[in-house]
Amino acid sequence: MRIAILSRNPNLYSTRRLKEAGEQRGHEVDIIDTLHCYMDITSNKPAVRYKGEALPHYDAVIPRIGASVTFYGTAVVRQFEMMGTYSINESVAISRSRDKLRSLQLLSRKGIGLPRTGFAHRPDNVDDLIKNVGGAPLVIKLLEGTQGIGVVLAESKKTAESIIEAFMGLNANILIQEYIKEAGGADIRCLVVGGKVVAAMKRQAAEGEFRSNLHRGGSAEIVRLSAAERRTAVEAAKAMGLNMCGVDILRSNNGPLVMEVNSSPGLEGIESATGKDVAAMVYQFLEKTTRSSTRTRGNG
């Protein structure tokens, strides 16, 4: 197959691994800088142009769309879809998961476990907002934050009020979530590919830090999932419509709670922690899916 990886940086671990794994399996794999693509939106002849030329037909694309370029990146993915190219994650599913509020609302509708969450822009009653998620300590998040940026733990009601008022003064949209103390500063990243959890790791926050992101000095180790955790991760991916994603789960006294669904999960941490060749599993799914879709078209 001819496959395009949409990535702004060919030197990133995940991008390199996906290219290596594809080529090892006999595929022709190109890395294309998403922001350097431009679109020819012509009736019946949609095309993506790159460095002065129309790109060839690709059997599949693997989007590695950073949060800062979600709007343009999903437009590029959508253009490939218009050209009949299969995307492992559809543009609409990427957009859905990137909107933290929308994703939580969709997960809630499906009955998937979540921390108690409030959303506000300029709440008339900050006291009620805090009380509604169980009071302090609580977590306050900027709606647009990534990799732990814009996430604050308020250990007292007074601190929470001050932080909320500060964010309100910046005209920011914020999420308020209950703090799951029993998680002990750890979460579980489940890597879901094709409706199955193919790898999972436990991420532990660094000393004095409550955010478990590896970018913030957290550590990772392989973890054994319960049936409920595995089921929760698969259901969360399905609710977002993502064929490849990372689902972040907290272990709570009320069972697994989903914190976030990431449509472009990094592979370095989870491959290192588990020893699994996740990149190869991505191609196994692509090969199976594109073969079956080709058969379907042939039978039609």
Class at the top of the CATH hierarchy for domain 2-91: alpha beta
Nearest CA among 290, 244, 278 for reference residue 60: 290
> Any idea which fold 117-179 has?
Dna Ligase; domain 1 (3.30.1490)
User: Is residue 28 scored above 70 in pLDDT?
Assistant: yes
Q: Which of 166-170, 201-205, 266-270 has the highest mean pLDDT?
A: 266-270
CATH 3.30.1490.20 domain position(s) in the chain: 117-179
The rounded distance, in Å, linking the Cα atoms of 144 and 100 is 8
CATH architecture under which domain 182-281 falls: 2-Layer Sandwich (3.30)
Amino acid in the structure at residue 105: Q
Q: Which of 60, 24, 58 is nearest to 244 (CA)?
A: 60
Mean pLDDT along residues 181-186: 86
pLDDT classification of 268: cutoffs 50, 70, 90? very high
Task: Please give the pLDDT value at position 170.
Answer: 82
Q: Which of 37-46, 93-102, 137-146, 271-280 has the lowest mean pLDDT?
A: 137-146
Residue 213 pLDDT more than 80?
no
Average pLDDT over residues 46-55: 93
Q: Confidence class of residue 297 from pLDDT cuts 50, 70 and 90?
A: very low
> Of 199, 202, 186, 197, whose CA–CA distance to 228 is shortest?
197
196 against 142, higher pLDDT = 196
CA distance 241 to 92: 8
* pLDDT at residue 263 greater than cutoff 70: yes
Average predicted confidence (pLDDT) for the chain: 89
Omega cis (within 30) before 137:
yes
CATH 3.40.50.20 occupies which residues in the chain? 2-91
pLDDT of residue 147: 53
All CATH 3.30.470.20 domain ranges of the chain, comma separated, are 182-281
Choose among 141, 166, 170: nearest CA to 153: 141
Choose the weakest-confidence range: 84-88, 112-116, 195-199, 206-210: 206-210
Whole-model pTM above 0.85?
A: yes
Q: Are 145 and 211 in contact (CB under 8 A)?
A: no
Residue showing tokens 């647009």 = 144
* pLDDT band (50, 70, 90) for residue 77: very high
Check residue 300 and give its pLDDT.
46
Identity of the highest mean pLDDT range in 53-62, 123-132, 199-208? 53-62
Contact 206, 163 (CB under 8 A): no
Mean pLDDT of 191-206: 92
Integer Cα distance of 150 and 156 in angstroms: 18
pLDDT for position 245: 97
pLDDT grade, residue 220 (50/70/90)?
confident
